[in-house]
Amino acid sequence: MAILRLPFVLFLSALCVMTGLVPVLLPALSCPAHAAQSTSVSGPHGTATLLSDSDSFMPGQDMHFGLRLQLAPGWHTYWLNPGDAGEAVTLAVHASGGAVGEGGPIEWPVPQRLRDGPLMSYAYTGDVVLPVRLQPQEAKEGTDMVVEATADWLVCATVCVPEHAQFTMTLPRAPLYPSPQAPLFARAAAQRPVASPFAAAIAPDGTLSLSGEGLSPAMVRDAWFMPEQPGQIDHDAPQVLHVRDGLLQLGLKVTDGFHRDAALPGIVVIRDVSGREQALAVTAHPGGPSLMVGTAHGGRVVWLARLLALAFAGGMILNLMPCVFPVLAMKILSLERMAQGERRAALVGAALYAAGIVVAFVVLGALIVGLRMAGDSVGWGFQFQSVTFVMLMCWLLFAISLNLLGVFSFGTGIAALGGAGRLSGHMGDVLTGVLAVVVATPCTAPFMGAAIAGALSASPVAGIAIFVAMGLGLAAPYLLLAAVPGLVRRLPRPGAWMEIVRQALAFPMLATCVWLAWVATLQGGQVAVPLLAGGMVLVAFAAWLVRQAQDMVMAGRGGRDGMVLFCRGGALLAVALAVGGVTMVPPALAPQGGGSGAAHPADGVEAFSQARLDALRAQGRPVFIDMTAAWCISCLVNERVALSPQRVRDAFARQGVVYMKGDWTGRDAAISAFLHDHGRDGVPLYVYYPAHGDGVVLPQVLTPGLVLHTIGAQ
């Protein structure tokens, strides 16, 4: 959490300073620091500790426990498939006392390949965390949960030494909150392989094939396969790589234990031309072609061009998503200058608006990439998982509403306190673009998911280009209006009606403030209500003081007038007090649940749990997964329009479909891992698992007909 907070607070501070609302940096947020680890077991070959990702437990809510091995230099331990020699780590976790439960299998990070003479091993060195998922069930109300774990592992260097340890940990019953060790689990989750977007097949001669868009000789420099099951291939044998446009093939040397009529699960690691590696979890089914040699020229260019096109289209469609509706007021007001026939002003305004959008997209993209590289499992829209950000956005939009109603003139910085000139108008265009992106991030438009996933897996230069294309797509309609004189002339002539429209547009902004206040109460609990309302009073008081200062300046009283300076200072102090109040929201209260994504058994909706999903699939039950969040307007619209109608719910009941919701309103490692496994970095995500077969990912925009067709009820 600490890794996320620093760049996030800096980003918010920069945004608020630019708008003139917050001239001070955000105070540091405080987090509880309870120990969530056992006593360490140390020896000459390293140290072993049992960790928890939460300081507490709640029955029915998933949490992770992990074996942390800090191995001495030169020593290593082994993966699920140790390779030619070795033994896999085992970890058994048992909960008793206030809740009971058994830990699941180890969620393995991607191992290294270690070659020792003619032998190849799949192993871990240095500092590694091997997590298991556990969902404690109610046992004894109000008592602590005692967690006991037994671990066995083999450490090797020039010799091999078997190790054994038993651990005990006691956790109190309380709302879950990430422990100080949670970043280690986030790092382990980021090191797991992601679900492959490519179809995988294995031929009788051992040729492993991946097929799909994005594979090309220009993108893939190297690749290798590590099977989950031992005894299938010669691990040390060269894996001959051939790539052509849309197809990657690895020539594996199979052994006598290879089953030609069975699927072959494992990990394919692809290294691109920049040296970046991506690990894909694949299950290769029998029947693939034998090794074919093919070469494609310009494959990487074609792949990047497709991603840029998807990013641009996603940005264009984002204009139609409900997340951006609150900013339409500011966009419409910017058309006044166009309608007045000032062509140069129209071009400059549209260009600056586009620049603000592009810069905001690049900054957000760089933040996500940087945090993920640091081991934090963040995704698109991550800032709305912070009650601090939600409350600040509520106050910002409230201030904009007061501006639209004419309470004060809103420029930037000191200009906001003393009148707005051409400079503040230009800066206003830039800030309108920035605000459009910040407010739009709860939404993921069609095509954006693939584009964002591609940007995060591409080289830094290609990733930035993809985010720039997305920003240009969002700005394209206004660039088009400014560039085509005929379109500008079709706009209504300016008049008194514009002031009426300007004031009327304040009310959608105020409605958005109500929505953000609801989200803040879900994340921060009841204590957030008076702090949020008190902050709005202080923002309104600051706006009134700004208006008094502006009236004095307009009356000819200079900037050095004592009352003008008093009003300016009072406005800044009021905003600073409001921002300081954000730190009074106890982090332990967030998230509270109960948002859009909260599951209510009475409604026939189950809360998402990976263990429950696995159990249902093992029983042959069809499952519909809805990954959502209270701050995601697209999610709320889809739920109301496509998932809540009675005919859809009746079809779910007739087909025996289990409807599961995952609430990502606050940070949730299990949901983040599920999104990551499906190549997504934000919500909404809809996945349908039929009774038998692989999951089907649905589009981000749903209709009742699409849902009914997917589950086979139409």
Residues 211-267: pLDDT tens digits?
888 888 888 889 999 999 888 898 888 888 888 888 899 989 888 778 777 889 999
Q: What is the mean pLDDT of the chain?
A: 78
Q: Which two tokens stand for residue 486?
A: 């005929």
Residue 526 has a CB neighbour count (10 Å cut-off) of 9
Is the predicted pLDDT of residue 359 greater than 80, yes or no? yes
List Cβ neighbours of 319 (8 Å cut-off, separation of 6 or more): 474, 477
Distance CA 364, CA 355 (A): 14
Q: What is the 3-state secondary structure (H, E, C) of 539-562?
A: HHHHHHHHHHHHHHHHCCCCCCCH
Is the predicted pLDDT of residue 703 greater than 50, yes or no? yes
Q: Specify burial of residue 558 (Cβ count, 10 A radius: 0-12, 13-18, 19+).
A: exposed
Q: How confident is the model at residue 280 (pLDDT cuts 50, 70, 90)?
A: very high
Q: Which residue has the tokens 């010669």?
A: 234
- Per-residue pLDDT, 450: 64
> Radius of gyration (Cα) for the chain, nearest Å?
28
Is the predicted pLDDT of residue 32 greater than 80, yes or no? no
Residue 6 has a CB neighbour count (10 Å cut-off) of 12
Q: How confident is the model at residue 566 (pLDDT cuts 50, 70, 90)?
A: confident
The secondary element (H helix, E strand) that includes residue 9 is helix 2-19
Please report, as a single letter, which amino acid is at residue 178: P
Among 89-93, 188-192, 402-406, 575-579, top mean pLDDT goes to 89-93
Residue 222 has a CB neighbour count (10 Å cut-off) of 14
Q: How confident is the model at residue 595 (pLDDT cuts 50, 70, 90)?
A: very low
Q: Is 287 helix (H, G, I), strand (E, B) or coil?
A: coil
Strand partners, 249: 209, 242
Report pLDDT digits (tens) over 411-443.
Answer: 433 333 333 334 445 777 788 888 788 777 666
Q: Are 133 and 64 in contact (CB under 8 A)?
A: yes
Cα distances (Å, whole numbers) of residue 714 to 17, 644, 702: 54, 17, 15
The beta-carbon contacts of 258-264 under 8 Å, at least 24 apart in sequence, are 258/206, 258/231, 258/232, 258/233, 259/232, 260/204, 260/286, 261/286, 262/286, 263/202, 264/202, 264/208, 264/227, 264/229, 264/232
Phi, psi of 348 (to 5 degrees): -65, -45
Distance CA 477, CA 331 (A): 11
Q: Where are the beta strands (DSSP E) in 503-646?
A: 605-607, 623-628
Is the predicted pLDDT of residue 182 greater than 80, yes or no? yes
Distance CA 464, CA 94 (A): 46
Query: C-alpha angle with apex 63: 60 to 69, nearest 5 degrees?
Result: 155
Respond yes or no on whether the N-terminal peptide bond of residue 591 is cis (omega within 30° of 0): yes
Of 97-111, 123-137, 297-311, 468-482, minimum mean pLDDT range: 297-311
Comparing CA positions, the residue from 578, 704, 558 lying closest to residue 639 is 704
pTM of structure: 0.47
Strand partners, 65: 52, 132
Is the predicted pLDDT of residue 501 greater than 90, yes or no? no
Distance CA 257, CA 122 (A): 18
Q: Which two tokens stand for residue 131?
A: 């997590």
